[in-house]
Structure 1
């Protein structure tokens, strides 16, 4: 079994009011050294054995493109954790 960790974030050109509100609140709490704050989504996907690395890579890209990330507003990246670490 493999574990895939997917990280989805807004593109730089997209305004993220929730992240801005959090950053403003941090400033009000005295954390004035925060220059930027990003807010995103994190997914863990456990995949059964049987797919080659290339097949798994293709499948995860399809899942991200079709469901997990909005191509117009978000970027994604992922890492595949080897079988021993996924258990």
Structure 2
């Protein structure tokens, strides 16, 4: 089973990398770009056939390693 775990910063957490990306986009001629927030995407192949069990395992992975849950949120999506 294939899944995607998306990790983003929580609202209120400063994002200097997102700010730098936004500034770079403006200097590259994209003046209509507003605020930019950066995150991480993990595509994971998991040897699980039960969707509920897979989602639980992926959430555990995010909680233990993929996301810093103090400052980041995550979402799990089964993609195939």
> Which 4+ stretches in 1 moved above 2 angstroms?
none
How far apart are residue 29 of structure 1 and its match?
Answer: 2.2
Alignment match of 1:59 (pick from 44, 47, 57): 57
Q: In structure 1, how many angstroms separate the alpha carbons of the residues matched to 2:69 and 2:47?
A: 27
Q: Which has the larger radius of gyration?
A: 1
Unaligned runs of 5+ in 1: 83-87
- Shift in Å at residue 30 of structure 1? 2.3
TM-score by length of 1: 0.83
CA RMSD of aligned residues (A): 1.2
| Unaligned stretches of 5+ residues in structure 2 | none
The alpha carbon displacement at 1:9 in A equals 0.7
- Give 2:21's aligned residue: 22
